[in-house]
C-alpha cells in the first residue's frame, strides 16, 4: 500500500451539503452511469475525448473495467481516484493522477460534479480536501491542474483554493473532439498557510462538519 491510499476525507460543510471523499468502488456503476449520461451537455465540453459514443462509454457496463483500472493504478501509488459524496450520495469524482515521487513529488488533479448540485461550493470543498491530502499523508510538494480558458466555473474553483496561473499550453489536450489550449495552474505545499480547508473556513466558504 502507498501513503495516503486508501483514505476517507472530510466531512466539510458547504451550501450544497456535507462533502466527503472516498475511493471509487465497483458498486458506483449505477450512480456514475445515470449522472454521466444525464449531464452529458454539462460535462462533454471540458472532458478528454474517448473512443465510441458518449452513451456507450458511460453505460453501466463500462464502469467495472474503468473502476478496476483506476484501483490498480491507486495500488501502484500512481493515482488517487476518489468519489465526491454530498450527504452520503455519489455526486462526482476527483482524481489525482501521474503521481511522481523522488525529487519531483508532483501530480495533477481533476474533478467533475453533478449539475444538480452545481454552484453550491461542492467542487471547491472537494478540491480543498484533495489538496490537503496530497500535501499531508501523500507527501507531495506540488499539484498542478489544466483547464480550458473557456471554463470559467472551474477556474473560479481553482482560484478559490489558491492555484496560481503558470502559463498557456498550446493545443494541449484532445477535449470534445479537438486539440484545445489549456491554462496550466499549480500550487506548492509551501504556499498553503495551515490547510486549504482552513483557508475556506476563514473565507466563510465552508465549515467543519
Interaction of residue 60 with ligand ACO, rule CB under 6 A: no
Q: Which of 108, 91, 94 is nearest to 144 (CA)?
A: 108
Asked if residue 124 binds ligand ACO (CB under 6 A), the reply is yes
Q: Which residue in the block uniquely carries the three cell numbers 486508501?
A: 6
The string of DSSP codes covering 89-154 is: EEEEEEEEEEEE-TTT-EEEEEEEE-GGGTTSSHHHHHHHHHHHHHHTTT--SEEEEEE-TT-HHH
Fill in the per-residue mask, 80 to 109: x = in contact with ligand ACO (CB under 6 A), - = not in contact. ------------------------------
Residue 188 has, within 13 A of its CA and on its CB side, a CA count of 5
Q: Is 140 in the site for ligand ACO (CB under 6 A)?
A: no
Pattern 151-190, binding to ligand ACO, x per CB under 6 A? Answer: xxxx-xx--x------------------------------
Number of chain residues interacting with ligand ACO (CB under 6 A) = 23
Positions that interact with ligand ACO (CB under 6 A)? 42-43, 46, 110-113, 118-124, 145, 147, 151-154, 156-157, 160
Amino acid at each position: 500500500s502507498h501513503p495516503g491510499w486508501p483514505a476517507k476525507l472530510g466531512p466539510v460543510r458547504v451550501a450544497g451539503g456535507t462533502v466527503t471523499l472516498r475511493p471509487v468502488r465497483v458498486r458506483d456503476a449505477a450512480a456514475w452511469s445515470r449522472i454521466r449520461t444525464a449531464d452529458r451537455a454539462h460535462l462533454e465540453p471540458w472532458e478528454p475525448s474517448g473512443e465510441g459514443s458518449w452513451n456507450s462509454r458511460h453505460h453501466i457496463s463500462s464502469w467495472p473495467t474503468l473502476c478496476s483500472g483506476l484501483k490498480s493504478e491507486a495500488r501502484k501509488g500512481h493515482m488517487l481516484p476518489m468519489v465526491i459524496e454530498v450527504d452520503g450520495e455519489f455526486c462526482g469524482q476527483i482524481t489525482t493522477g501521474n503521481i511522481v515521487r523522488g525529487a519531483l513529488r508532483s501530480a495533477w488533479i481533476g474533478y467533475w460534479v453533478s449539475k444538480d448540485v452545481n454552484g453550491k461550493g461542492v467542487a471547491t470543498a472537494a478540491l480543498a480536501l484533495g489538496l490537503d491530502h496530497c500535501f499531508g499523508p501523500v507527501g507531495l510538494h506540488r499539484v498542478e491542474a489544466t483547464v480550458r480558458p473557456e471554463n470559467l466555473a472551474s477556474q473560479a474553483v481553482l482560484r478559490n483554493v489558491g492555484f496560481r496561473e503558470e502559463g498557456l499550453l498550446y493545443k494541449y489536450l484532445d477535449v470534445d473532439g479537438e486539440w484545445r489550449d489549456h491554462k496550466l495552474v499549480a500550487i506548492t505545499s509551501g504556499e498553503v498557510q495551515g490547510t486549504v480547508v482552513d483557508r475556506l473556513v476563514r473565507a466563510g466558504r465552508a465549515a467543519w462538519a
